[in-house]
């Protein structure tokens, strides 16, 4: 069950990193957040995903 949560968090991290790149390339404010803010969200989700995976 925890592996599923970890995979979801890692997937969301990749998605947030892609949104960050899209925001950087096309200067689109998605949900009013800058690209660096999206990158921080991606990093936080990745760290939490790794924590959940190690906790198993």
pLDDT in tens, 11-31: 999 999 999 999 999 988 878
Task: Identify the pLDDT of residue 1.
Answer: 63
> In this model, does residue 2 exceed pLDDT 90?
no
Range(s) of the domain holding residue 11: 2-55
CA-closest candidate to residue 7, choices 56, 53, 54, 55: 53
pLDDT at 7 over 90: yes
Instruction: Reduce the DSSP state of residue 38 to 3 states and report it.
Output: helix
User: What is the total count of domains within the chain?
Assistant: 1
Mean pLDDT of 4-11: 94
Residue 33 in tokens = 């957040």
Question: pLDDT digits over 44-56, tens only?
Answer: 999 999 999 998 8
């Amino acid at each position: 069950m925890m592996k599923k949560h970890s995979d979801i968090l890692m997937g969301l991290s990749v998605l947030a990193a892609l949104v960050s790149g899209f925001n950087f390339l096309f200067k689109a404010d998605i949900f009013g957040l800058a690209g660096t803010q999206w990158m921080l969200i991606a990093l936080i989700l990745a760290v939490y995903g790794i924590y959940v995976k190690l906790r198993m």
